[in-house]
Amino acid sequence: MKASVVPIKVVLAGNNAMSAAQTEHPHSLNTLYGNMMHALNFHRLLMANHWWNWFILIAAILVGAALGRAVILAFDAVGDRLEKKAWHFHAVLMTSMAKPINLVIFALSLLVGLGQLHLNSVLRYASGKMVLLLIAIGIFWYFYNVVEIVEIALKRFIQRHETPLTEQVLPIIRKTLRLLVLIIALLFIAQNVFGRDIGSWLAGLGIAGLAISLAAQDSLKNLFGSVTIFLDRPFLIGQQVTYQGFTGVVEDIGFRSTRLRLFDGTLVSVPNSDIVNTSVQNISARPYLRRFLTLGITYDAGAEKMRQAVDIIHGILESDDFRGPVHNPENLNDNPPRVYFNDFATDSLNITVYYYYRPATDYWGFIDYNQRFNFTLMRAFEKMDIEFAFTSRTVYLAGDPKRRLPVYLIKDDSTPPPAHSNP
């Protein structure tokens, strides 16, 4: 009696332990592996298909691989020919399509090979999803490569507008566009291949993006400021600008700040967000360098010498040694030099001189021109005995042959002095 009961208890205890283990660990590796092998059921799969079904599958894969390789070679050859003809856009379209279309051809050949096999519902679903995944990867791979066309177009635009921002801007734009393509590809595959609901993902990304943007709003301001500088081009690298009292040469335009090298060697970094909201004087963008000069002549020069002084200055500026830089050869009426006797000042008779030096980028040439003009003018005035005035006070003394003062001796206070008569 006891011997017949004991085996029954052992069997029941073993069954209960096995079911308890299965219910306790439904997602363990052993359970998942067992469910997968049960769904695949390789023995049933081999028995349900003949040898020629497997032969067709292998042949379809080999044909697809060979056809894809031939397509790569053909597209690369066509792309090289187009590149030699300087058709860069068409060349990029062809070469960018080579490897992605190879992947699509392989996916289609795999679809043909798997389509004639006798598969259960699980394998049929999995094979369809795999083919769809390969095709989606091939399509987005092509868009990832086509970003190079945008880079070529932007490079041509930047070179046409003579801006040196190419090396700084293009890599960032290229990486940003490719990252955008990758994000769209992942979202598309997650929703259409794996059947995931990406609405919650997008909401999470929106909240995360909002938090990041609030935390890095200053950096984003500087980034958008650099984009504004790139598009508006208020100045370029190497140009001389004045910003809030700082005058220097633009040494670098980054995505956070712009660096100015002052004339004393100091390097000043200015946030781009401040530059776009503040006026910047671009000195190098001037079409010419203007000099405004006021010459003071002494009052005793007289009208004739003032006329001679004006003519001397005109003659210097129209001479062969000085004429070129201050006259526009294409348009002689474009701001020619102007000289005027324009004012009776307190201490001098003033002559105003305007001239406009070209090219504006030759600043030190402008300084040398001014020095040569000054020396030539001083020598010419010395020959004509024309004196420069300076702030002074004139005291008239008796005995000055040019300015005689009448002096009268009054003997009696009651006797009025005689009437004034000119000597």
Per-10-residue mean pLDDT, the chain, length 423: 42 42 48 57 66 80 85 83 76 80 85 76 77 87 82 69 57 78 85 74 65 58 71 78 85 81 86 81 83 90 91 92 86 84 89 90 89 94 88 63 63 57 48
- Domain spans of the chain? 46-215, 233-285, 289-383
Q: Does domain 233-285 have CATH number 2.30.30.60?
A: yes
Residue 340 is predicted with a pLDDT of 93
Residue 408 is predicted with a pLDDT of 63
Residue 181 is predicted with a pLDDT of 86
Q: Give the side-chain half-sphere CA count within 13 A for 236.
A: 10
**Separation of alpha carbons 339 and 293, rounded Å:** 10
Fold of 289-383: Alpha-Beta Plaits (3.30.70)
The structure's pTM equals 0.47
Phi and psi angles of residue 203, each rounded to the nearest 5 degrees, phi first: -65, -40
Residue 3 is predicted with a pLDDT of 44
Residue 19 is predicted with a pLDDT of 45
Residue 236 is predicted with a pLDDT of 79
